[in-house]
Chain A
Amino acid sequence: MSKLTFARAINAGLRKSLENDPKVVLMGEDIGALGGVFRVTDGLQKDFGKHRVIDSPLAESGIIGTAVGLAYRGYRPVCEIQFDGFIYPAFDQIVSQVAKMHYRTQGRVKMPITIRVPFGGGIGSPEHHSESPEAYFTHTSGLRVVAVSNPQDAYTMIQQAIASDDPVLYFEPKRRYHDKGDVDESLDLSTALPLDRAAVVNTGTDVTLVSYGPLVKTAKDAAMAAADEGISVEVIDLRSLAPVDYPVVEASVRKTGRLVITHEAGQSGGLGAEIAASITERCFHYLESAPVRITGFDVPYPYSKLEMHHLPDLDRILDGVDRALGRPNSLSGLEG
């Protein structure tokens, strides 16, 4: 067991994948000598060579499109998109090619491509550097989408993503890159929690609080604060955003009867909407109140002096928990 930052944990996972499988290649802007702008790939080019850790031209569609060709040739490319907001030029290659090639060829061509995306806000960046574009990709069949919330998962899930024969979008919460945690580097991937499973990270009985990525920590903090008020909050870390592990969420909601979902992305058409609808379909008779969403606003990601208003924090989440419980809250007295 070692104490690693989030970024080092991903780095260790990448290193292990590079060691274990000669078909794994890393591609991205500035990932070589610089080690990536967040240093996630630090030292890898030095140890594995320029042919395994490839500094690419500044062209996101090119990074993903050439990865498609490499996958055709039997490679397992791991692409880094430098920031969430830079993924859009590659959108066509991701949704039209990476996602559909297996279906298009009825399984003849596999696309074991991992796309790493530092995502989310909270680090005071200018625009295009703090976005949460996950819902675009969870809406696209053929892609697996995961978001990691702690160094241990970061370490194991990057290896599972690379080992997956399906393409995986791997979202890294950039404001947590420097958080430290215990990482068991000897953990056998076959015994680790599968890539598409959710985890109950705090057990509780009154409210189910669902989150993923950067907000899992905030959600756990909120659960601790709620406990001080005598409210027992069960926190679920989704880990997989596509597919969502509904049986785990369902079991929790059947126990608590109440559901709060929190994410940084805007509300409309977001993952919270999908989860609220699906859980309502599956657990309607168990719900004591309507599902509550605590999310970013439906605005472009704001300039950094305002981002603390946009991002759900502990107090907004607790306010949502109060709404789910029918306790006095900021919307008390408001109809609809």
Chain B
Amino acid sequence: MLTDQAGKGVHQGTPGPGQSAQNPLRTGGDLLQLVSPEGDRISHPEFDVWVRDIGDEQLCSLYEDMTVIRRIDAEATALQRQGELALWPPLLGQEAAQIGSSRSLRDDDFVFPSYRESGVAYVRGAHLSEIARVWRGNASYGWDPQRINVATPQIIIGSQSLHATGYAMGVQLDGASTAVLAYFGDGATSEGDVNEAMVFAASYQAPVVFFCQNNHWAISEPVRIQSHVQLADRPTGFGIPSMRVDGNDVLAVMAATRVALDRARKGGGPTFIEAVTYRMGPHTTADDPTRYRDPNELEDWAAKDPILRLHKLLEAKGLLTEDVAARVKAKADAVAAELRSSCIDMPDPQPLDVFNHVYSTPNSWIERQKDHYSRYLNSFNQPVEEGAL
């Protein structure tokens, strides 16, 4: 597949015999787009085939997922403002990137996310309480990784790209056709681990897809000071082909991700996808982007809003009937209500839980500290004997 598309939709890292070193997709104009910001469907000779199964019903379903995760995001932000969550990393603006990529996965594929991929977790079947509890401070992990094939959220920037690569090496050893997808942001491409992950992935041709959501800001650091080339140009130096797609175009994201996953499954090795999108909110609820961001920039990107774009496409196709709109709204409301109640009703962990699961086998140091702390806590329940002091 990749060879067929060389020079058309996919970057070739190392041009082979008979191929031109000049890759016409290496500039900003090469963004893969299947739906314009105005909601017009753009036909693409190589990529259309990858989304030809996305009919009317599928389009509405993608629209529903994107709307629901925007609602999850808004509700979680509100819960944080009300003191119910300690922190929340908003994904506002990145709905197409997250839904388009995660809806391309098979159940047996495995995902290594960062901390912002709540939309991916939702699509993969995480319970809403599992999405909330990390940010409420009730647990360090969200969902059971083995149940939904999504690793626990990763806070250290870029660390999970190596885990994904290692997992993909394991897939190879097993002789399985599973693909692995690693999410990270533009900031992570500055980290050593992401670069080492690309070295390892290229060395072993591991079936991993590096999905970079370039949302333009690493907290207050703009992507332009971290990279003097487009991010999609970097992996070519490692011998990893890449694609640069409009991250606010859910169809383009789907097409690109499906190409990359298919390539991984067929033994074609790693692929890097740069999904060009925009973080419309703050980095986390503790951040204030008005201190570092030009408001005009936000305005420009608001015009490229991923949900608005799909909304326009659906309208143009006459799909956004009152029924559909009402159904989507009802679903989003219900999910938000469930998120809220499951968050507020979540039981606090018990004090001695702090000692649990450090090791899978007993550790004498921790057992002793647990025993001592337990005695200390119990001492509050003991009546103080008269004259004891």
Would you call B360 and A69 a contact (CB within 8 A)? no
With contacts A65-B159, A108-B146, A165-B360 taken as known, whether A103 is within 8 angstroms of B140 at the C-beta atoms is yes
Would you call B152 and A69 a contact (CB within 8 A)? no
Q: How many Å from the CB of A96 to the closest CB on chain B? A: 5
- B350-367 residues with Cβ-Cβ distance < 8 A to A are 356-361, 363-366
C-alpha gap A259/B45 in the complex (Å): 79
- Which of A56, A59, A89 has its CB near the most chain B CB atoms (within 10 A)? A59
With contacts A69-B166, A104-B141, A108-B144 taken as known, whether A196 is within 8 angstroms of B364 at the C-beta atoms is yes
Would you call B361 and A66 a contact (CB within 8 A)? no
Would you call A66 and B169 a contact (CB within 8 A)? yes
Q: How many Å from the CB of B285 to the closest CB on chain A? A: 22
Segment touching B, from A70-78, A151-159, A181-189: A70-78
Name A56's closest neighbour in chain B (CB-CB): B200
Q: How many residues of A contact B (CB 8 A)?
A: 49
Would you call B159 and A25 a contact (CB within 8 A)? no
For residue B84, CB closer than 8 A to chain A, the reply is: no
Q: Mark A281-324, 1 if CB is under 8 A from B, else 0.
A: 00000000000000000000000000000000000000000000
Would you call A246 and B141 a contact (CB within 8 A)? no
Q: Mark B130-168, 1 if CB is under 8 A from A, else 0.
A: 000000000111001110000110001001011111111
With contacts A62-B162, A96-B156 taken as known, whether A73 is within 8 angstroms of B174 at the C-beta atoms is yes
Would you call A61 and B192 a contact (CB within 8 A)? yes
Would you call B199 and A59 a contact (CB within 8 A)? yes
Q: How many Å from the CB of B318 to the closest CB on chain A? A: 46
For residue B35, CB closer than 8 A to chain A, the reply is: no
C-alpha gap A74/B178 in the complex (Å): 14
Q: Mark B333-364, 1 if CB is under 8 A from A, else 0.
A: 00000000000000000000000111111011
Using Cβ atoms and an 8 Å threshold, which residues of chain A touch B110?
Answer: 72-73
For residue A164, CB closer than 8 A to chain B, the reply is: yes
Would you call A69 and B173 a contact (CB within 8 A)? no
Would you call B152 and A62 a contact (CB within 8 A)? no
Would you call A97 and B163 a contact (CB within 8 A)? yes
Name B154's closest neighbour in chain A (CB-CB): A97
Q: How many Å from the CB of A295 to the closest CB on chain B? A: 22
For residue B60, CB closer than 8 A to chain A, the reply is: no
Would you call A142 and B173 a contact (CB within 8 A)? no
Name B204's closest neighbour in chain A (CB-CB): A54
Would you call B364 and A66 a contact (CB within 8 A)? no
Say what secondary structure dominates the interface of chain B: helix
Would you call A107 and B173 a contact (CB within 8 A)? no
For residue B170, CB closer than 8 A to chain A, the reply is: yes
- A61-102 residues with Cβ-Cβ distance < 8 A to B are 61-62, 64-75, 77, 89, 92-93, 96-97, 100-102
Q: Mark B294-320, 1 if CB is under 8 A from A, else 0.
A: 000000000000000000000000000
C-alpha gap A89/B169 in the complex (Å): 21
With contacts A73-B171, A74-B170 taken as known, whether A93 is within 8 angstroms of B360 at the C-beta atoms is no
Name B134's closest neighbour in chain A (CB-CB): A104
For residue A221, CB closer than 8 A to chain B, the reply is: no
Would you call A25 and B173 a contact (CB within 8 A)? yes
Would you call B165 and A69 a contact (CB within 8 A)? yes
- Which of A109, A110, A164, A165 has its CB near the most chain B CB atoms (within 10 A)? A109
Using Cβ atoms and an 8 Å threshold, which residues of chain A touch B75?
Answer: none
Name B171's closest neighbour in chain A (CB-CB): A73
Would you call B197 and A96 a contact (CB within 8 A)? no
C-alpha gap A303/B274 in the complex (Å): 47
For residue A105, CB closer than 8 A to chain B, the reply is: yes
Would you call A66 and B162 a contact (CB within 8 A)? yes
Would you call B159 and A92 a contact (CB within 8 A)? yes
Q: Mark A10-30, 1 if CB is under 8 A from B, else 0.
A: 000000000000000100000
With contacts A65-B197, A70-B169, A105-B141 taken as known, whether A165 is within 8 angstroms of B361 at the C-beta atoms is yes
For residue A57, CB closer than 8 A to chain B, the reply is: yes
For this complex, 20 residue pairs linking A to B, each with C-beta atoms less than 8 Å apart, are: A56-B203, A57-B199, A59-B200, A62-B200, A68-B166, A69-B163, A69-B164, A69-B168, A74-B170, A97-B159, A101-B152, A102-B359, A103-B140, A106-B356, A107-B356, A108-B144, A141-B358, A144-B363, A196-B363, A243-B365
Other A-B pairs beyond A25-B173, A105-B152, 11, CB < 8 Å: A61-B196, A62-B193, A62-B199, A67-B166, A72-B110, A73-B170, A73-B174, A89-B192, A92-B159, A93-B162, A96-B159
By Cβ-Cβ distance, the 9 closest A-B pairs, closest first, are A69-B166, A65-B162, A73-B170, A66-B166, A62-B196, A69-B167, A69-B163, A165-B360, A104-B140
Chain B residues near A (Cβ < 8 Å): 110, 112, 139-141, 144-146, 151-152, 156, 159, 161-174, 180, 192-193, 196-197, 199-200, 203, 356-361, 363-366
